[in-house]
Structure 1
Amino acid sequence: MPAAHRRKLPIGIQTFSDIREGGYYYVDKTPFIEKLANQNKYYFLSRPRRFGKSLLLDTLGCLFEGREALFYGLYIHDKWDWQQRYPVVRLSFGNGVAADREDLDANIRYQLQQQRARLQITSTPPKRIADDFASLIEQAHRVHGQRVVVLIDEYDKPILDNIPDSDRARELREGLKNLYSVLKDADPH
């Protein structure tokens, strides 16, 4: 009897589309994702490293962007309104180590610029990072006609990378606080 087609294990893969399109095993977490998406507005997901947070965030991004083909055969497929597509702002601090506040701010500016381009927002961003982030969210809402989904991966890595230097860690915490403080007032968007 010939061996059945064996799927591959998705070791180290953090991209939902790679798993779904690449013939990898995928444990369907969409029953939980449906609850996340439909119950509350804000979530803080804290789990140990290498526990699938990045993959979960990518899956959420694909869902809110309306990438229906990736969800065929999964629990959520017939429970989601695929006509609704949301602008998704994705930020991640997993790339590299922020040496200081200037480096962190440059990283944030670069990511906001990338998100503006991806979401086809052409206006000139404000000078202050907090204003830039707020403007990005507001304009994405206006341009796309839907409220914005903000996904932030490795949200605390710049601080954790610098824990041995408490002054630098504190400086980076303030930089991240400057960015994250925008979310409360951006709630309507």
Structure 2
Amino acid sequence: MERLEKEWNIYPVLHMDFSISKYMNADMLRSVINNRLVEWEKVYGREESENTFSLRLKGIIQRAYEQTGMQVVILIDEYDSPMLDSNNDMELQSEIRGIMRDFFSPLKAIEQ
């Protein structure tokens, strides 16, 4: 048991918490996502060609893996907050769904 406790691997962790804001418009969601991506890009870098949320997230994940040699852990808290906050506005929900779909699309593509 003592030997096991000394062999903890350290993984790069990307933590996204959607509970930090109220989403009364799509720009709030874009701002929250962009701010988090910028924080991760300060650590892992950014390519000039990464001009969408999905390309930026994919690039961050790839560079985190390349820089550490470890699989990347992605924690997403309160992913449904934007949808719940816009519950009474179907047009806004549709826009939020599109933004979230774009942001999360790399997760399915790079799943290993």
TM-score interval, smaller chain? 0.7 to 0.9
How many residue pairs align between the two structures?
110
Partner of 1:103: 28
| 1:122 pairs with 2:45 | yes
Distance 1:84 1:97, change over 3 A: same
**After the TM superposition, which of the residue ranges 93-102 and 139-148 deviates more from structure 2?**
93-102
- Measured in 2, the distance between the counterparts of 1:185 and 1:113 equals 22
**Equivalent position SS for 1:181:** helix
**Superposition TM-score, scaled by structure 1 size:** 0.53
| Structure 2: tracts of 5 or more residues without a match | none
Instruction: Report the 3-state secondary structure (helix = DSSP H, G, I; strand = E; otherwise coil) of the residue aligned with 1:97.
Output: coil
Match of 2:94 among 170, 179, 182: 170
Which is richer in helix?
A: 2
Aligned with 2:111: secondary structure?
A: coil
Specify every segment of 5 or more residues in structure 1 that has no aligned partner in the other structure, as ranges.
1-76
Identity of aligned residues (%): 25
Counterpart in the other structure of 2:108: 184
Q: CA deviation at 1:81?
A: 6.5
Q: SS at 1:98's partner residue? A: coil
Quick check: 1:153 aligned with 2:77?
A: yes
- TM-align CA RMSD: 2.0
Distance, in Å, in 1 between the alignment partners of 2:68 and 2:83 is 33
Looking at structure 2, the residues matched to 78 and 152 of structure 1 have their Cα atoms a distance apart, in angstroms, of 32
Q: Which has the higher contact order (CA 8 A, sep 6+)?
A: 2
**Rounded Cα–Cα distance in structure 1 between residues aligned with 2:89 and 2:5:** 46
Contact kept? 2:45, 2:60, Cα under 8 Å = no
Report the CA distance between 1:159 and its aligned residue.
0.6
Give the deviation of 1:82 after TM superposition.
3.6
Shift in alpha-carbon separation, 1:174–1:85, aligned structure 2, 3 A: same
For residues 70-106 of structure 1, the C-alpha deviation after alignment (integer angstroms, 9 at most, x for no partner) is: xxxxxxx975674411000000100111232222112
**Residue type of the partner of 2:38?**
Q
Q: CA 1:178 to 1:123, structure 2 compared with 1: closer, same or farther past 3 Å? A: closer
- SS of residue paired to 2:107: helix
C-alpha displacement of 1:123: 3.1
